[in-house]
């Protein structure tokens, strides 16, 4: 059967062995990229001036789960509106925090529910965030931005 496979692709055994060696390498890369650390390209103006269009952000996908989300962290999350879209915003309020809102007529207060956070873009004039859709479940957070690979800088 293996010999028929080789004839079908007209390749040598050495080439097949080299290709088979790449499988664990790509599997390791995919695992690290999904669960440990990865790079994402930023889009849109919502995090300006901290992150601008086409920055390459370094995202911690593991350690932040141990340390927990802190107020001020920049996170990458699944959009609560479109599950096929990732968003990048700053955490402003944690579970149990009291959020004050003013609709122009009166001031209202509400408490951030358990297992939710309030996120907003740094560019308040051009960001679709918790002010539009409310607090997001912590489970939607995929990682914490720890820096930029391009241009090289730490993010805080």
Residue 1 reports pLDDT greater than 60: no
Catalytic residues: 46, 89
Determine the average pLDDT of the residues in 147-153.
Answer: 87
pLDDT band at 102 (very low <50, low <70, confident <90, very high): confident
Q: Regarding the domain delimited by 36-151, which CATH topology (the fold level of the hierarchy) does it fall under?
A: Umud Fragment, subunit A (2.10.109)
Residue 6 reports pLDDT greater than 60: no
Residue 122 reports pLDDT greater than 80: yes
Contact at 8 Å (CB) between 55 and 150? Answer: yes
Determine the average pLDDT of the residues in 92-101.
Answer: 95
**What does pLDDT average to over the chain?**
90
Determine the average pLDDT of the residues in 75-104.
Answer: 94
Q: 0.95 exceeded by the pTM?
A: no
Beta bridge partners of 77: 87, 141
Residue boundaries of the structural domains of the chain: 1-35, 36-151
């Amino acid at each position: 059967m293996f010999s028929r496979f080789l004839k079908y692709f007209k390749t040598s055994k050495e080439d097949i062995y080299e290709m088979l060696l790449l499988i664990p390498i790509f599997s390791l890369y995919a695992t690290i990229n999904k669960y440990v650390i990865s790079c994402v390209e930023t889009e849109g103006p919502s995090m300006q001036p901290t992150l601008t269009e086409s920055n390459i952000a370094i995202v911690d996908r593991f350690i932040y789960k141990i340390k927990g989300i802190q107020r001020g962290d920049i996170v990458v999350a699944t959009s609560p509106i479109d599950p096929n879209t990732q968003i990048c915003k700053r955490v402003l309020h944690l579970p149990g925090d009291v959020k004050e809102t003013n609709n122009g007529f009166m001031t209202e207060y509400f408490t951030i529910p358990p297992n939710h956070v309030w996120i907003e873009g740094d560019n308040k004039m051009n960001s679709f965030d918790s002010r539009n859709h409310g607090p997001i479940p912590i489970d939607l957070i995929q990682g914490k931005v720890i820096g930029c690979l391009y241009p090289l800088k730490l993010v805080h």
